[in-house]
Amino acid sequence: MKFPPWLLPGDKVAIISPAGKIERQTAERGSEILRQQGYRVLLGLHAFEQEGIFAGPDVARAADMQQALDDKSVKAIFFSRGGYGSIRTQQHLNWSSFFKKPKWLIGFSDITVFHAFLSIHNIASLHGVMTAWFEKDGNLTGSFTEMLELLKGKTPLYTVPSHEQNRIGTATGILTGGNLSIIQSLRGTPLDISPKGKILFIEDIDEYHYHIDRMMLNLKTAKILEKISGLIVGYFTAITDRETPFGKTSSEIIAEAVAQYRYPVCFGFPAGHELPNQPLILGSRILFNVSDKEVNIKLL
């Protein structure tokens, strides 16, 4: 797995909107915060455009991202938000320059599309907060400051409290995954997950319980869940029922889907559509240890 270079003081970074539309104030404030941290910032020319639910037409969003991918002086690309649209942007991109000199791509949710693409090409990327999450109530979030420390090369050791549905065990593997709905949407495409030797991280938001069940059963039927080396479950936020309750919580659904396997499973990892949203290097090799007292995740 290839890691892009760590960020240095004064490096140039970009903020791009490849998916959903975003308020100008949010993206501009994100740009200002990065400048305050000592970085030069390229803000996408079309970052504030709007076309339906998107941040402008597909070709405009792709043009901004292509510029950032090709610009050798840009050392990292921060995405302004997720929503929907990354898969449409991806259709228009040429990654040849990027492959010669990879840089960090940072985001989560719909940005899972790009994480999946880079995973296929054995290049690490960062599952981390986007511009609306850089600060809260006028203060920088811990998730943002921890993300910047990681991008500077300070790799963390994560310790998570035990959860009643955890499965004890130890595994090493390549961390992969992201948003479960996006992982599901990429099934059967060239961006589909390659499970062997991987520790899968999943999170989601605004889904029905039966949707979670259907997606987990898809991964199970395809033997994805059989072949992975471990499972890390982040936030499943605002998961609801229709008129007739499904009868199980999201954690119960996931636990049931992996019940027959022996690898370690962690529930309640603090990453996804809530704060704190711990930064994760997708593509990193990790040591994943689940005990009856706590969970430890260490980059190797």
Q: What are the distances in angstroms from CA 117 to CA 168, 191, 255?
A: 31, 6, 28
Q: Which of 109, 125, 250, 284 is catalytic?
A: 109
Cβ atoms 110, 17 nearer than 8 A: no
- Coil, strand, or helix at residue 25? helix
In angstroms, rounded to a whole number, what is the distance separating the alpha carbons of residues 186 and 208?
A: 19
Question: To 5 degrees, how large is the angle CA 188–CA 194–CA 196?
Answer: 140
Gap between the terminal Cα atoms of the chain: 12
In angstroms, rounded to a whole number, what is the distance separating the alpha carbons of residues 208 and 20?
A: 22
Cβ atoms 173, 285 nearer than 8 A: yes
Six-digit token string for 270 = 């603090």
Peptide bond into 156 cis (omega under 30): no
Q: Which of 17, 143, 273, 284 is catalytic?
A: 273
Q: Who contacts 234 (Cβ-Cβ below 8 Å, separation ≥6)?
A: 201, 202, 203, 269, 270, 271, 272
Catalytic residue status for 294: no
Q: Which of 203, 207, 209, 211 is catalytic?
A: 203
Q: Who contacts 260 (Cβ-Cβ below 8 Å, separation ≥6)?
A: none
Cβ atoms 248, 282 nearer than 8 A: no
The type of residue at 53 is I
Catalytic residue status for 211: no
Catalytic residue status for 121: no
Q: Where are the alpha helices (DSSP H) in the chain?
A: 24-36, 58-70, 86-90, 96-100, 112-120, 142-151, 180-185, 209-221, 224-227, 250-257
- Among all residues, which ones are annotated catalytic? 109, 203, 273
